[in-house]
């Protein structure tokens, strides 16, 4: 029987308004206290907490930045960062094109300017960033001995191509590059994934085997997780490669695929 559920957020859990539907909220509340429902996303923690609040699951751990940061009782139990030296080299490479680079560390989110990309992300995540040039953030983090949990490059497709080529050519061993759409490139540490984070939580916090876990996802960064857990479920709108490896496919995320599957599988 399944004793824990992990769910991706964007493209998987939210409805057409990028909100939680009443049905999803009610379904998660029904299993509350029996089966932990853990949010696992590339988002920063601040962009996940308001969703936790609606489902009454703020007491549960959070996995953010695709596994780069795991919070238990709001404290980091695992943190994997992109070293500031890589950030510096990317910044120097990007000086000419000046592609928007959003820089993240835990609940810090820095943007170089208020542009189309900044507004789009505020709209998507309901979080507001701080305005600081990439150079200022690099200097700040050097002094604080910090790195980036995530870098988000956003811009014209050919400029994103150039950044991807540069990073692949120089830091292939260090970085995971996720291209969620042609204009977006998510940059994360290579050593982590959603699955490594799940394994860490199950082993150290919940003391449960992978076989008793269920997970939902829709995108490339969910593939390893869906393959590794006891029951990996893809929402109907998932990428073809994700649909192919999933143990099961449910209705699209916007049509309550997650809540419907939980209701059917757990017979609640």
Confidence band of 265 (pLDDT split at 50, 70, 90)? very high
Under 8 Å between Cβ of 59 and 38:
no
pLDDT value of position 179: 86
What is the DSSP code (8-state) at residue 174? Answer: T
CA distance 149 to 80: 7
pLDDT at residue number 125:
85
- Considering the four listed CATH numbers 3.90.1150.10, 3.30.1240.10, 3.90.1170.40, 3.40.50.2000, the one that applies to the domain covering 84-189 is 3.30.1240.10
If you average pLDDT over residues 75-90, what whole number do you get?
97
The C-alpha atoms of residue 40 and residue 201 are separated, in whole angstroms, by 11
User: What does the alpha-carbon distance between residue 34 and residue 145 come to, in Å, rounded to a whole number?
Assistant: 40
E strand map for the chain: 4-7, 37-39, 62-64, 69-72, 75-79, 100-105, 108-111, 130-131, 150-154, 175-181, 184-189, 213-217, 231-234, 248-249
Q: What is the pLDDT of residue 50?
A: 95
- Mean pLDDT in the chain? 96
Q: Please tell me the distance from the alpha carbon of residue 140 to that of residue 146, in angstroms, as a whole number.
A: 9
End-to-end CA distance of the chain: 14
52: Cα separation from own chain's centroid? 15
Instruction: Summarize pLDDT for 128-154 with one digit per residue, the tens.
Output: 999 999 999 999 999 999 999 999 999
DSSP letters spanning 194-211: HHHHHHHHIIIII---GG
DSSP bridge pairs for 232 = 215
Residue ranges of domains in the chain: 4-79+192-266, 84-189
pLDDT of 180 = 78
Cα distance between residue 13 and residue 234, in whole Å: 11
Lowest mean pLDDT among 64-68, 143-147, 175-179, 208-212: 175-179
pLDDT in tens, 157-180: 999 999 999 999 999 999 999 887
110, two tokens: 């820095």
Instruction: For domain 4-79+192-266, give the fold.
Output: Rossmann fold (3.40.50)
Interval 178-201 mean pLDDT: 94
pLDDT in tens, 26-35: 999 999 999 9
Under DSSP, the state recorded for 140 is H
Same fold, 4-79+192-266 and 84-189: no
What is the structure's pLDDT at 2? 96
Confirm if 82 and 174 have CB atoms less than 8 A apart.
yes
The percentage of residues in the chain with a pLDDT greater than 70, rounded to a whole number, is: 100
């Amino acid at each position: 029987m399944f004793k824990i559920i992990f769910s991706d957020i964007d493209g998987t859990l939210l409805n057409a308004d990028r909100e939680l539907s009443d049905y999803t909220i009610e379904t998660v509340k029904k299993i509350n206290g029996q089966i932990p429902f853990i949010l696992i996303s590339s988002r920063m923690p601040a962009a996940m907490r308001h969703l936790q609040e609606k489902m009454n699951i703020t007491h549960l751990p959070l996995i953010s930045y695709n596994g780069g940061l795991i919070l238990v009782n709001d404290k980091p139990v695992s943190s994997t960062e992109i070293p500031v030296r890589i950030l510096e080299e990317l910044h120097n490479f990007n000086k000419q094109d000046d592609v928007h680079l959003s820089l993240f560390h835990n609940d810090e989110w820095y943007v170089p300017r208020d542009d189309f990309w900044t507004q789009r992300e505020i709209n998507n995540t309901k979080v507001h960033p701080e305005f600081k040039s990439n150079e200022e953030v690099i200097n700040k983090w050097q002094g604080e001995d910090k790195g980036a949990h995530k870098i988000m490059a956003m811009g014209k497709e050919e400029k994103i191509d150039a950044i991807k080529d540069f990073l692949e050519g120089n830091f292939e061993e260090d970085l995971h590059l996720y291209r969620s759409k042609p204009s977006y490139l998510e940059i994360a540490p290579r050593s982590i994934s959603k699955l490594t984070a799940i394994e860490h939580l199950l082993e150290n916090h919940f003391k449960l085997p992978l076989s008793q876990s269920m997970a939902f996802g829709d995108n490339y960064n969910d593939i390893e997780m869906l393959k590794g857990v006891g029951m990996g479920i893809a929402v109907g709108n998932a990428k073809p490669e994700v649909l192919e490896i999933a143990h099961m496919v449910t209705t699209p995320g916007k049509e309550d695929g997650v809540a419907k599957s939980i209701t059917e599988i757990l017979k609640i």
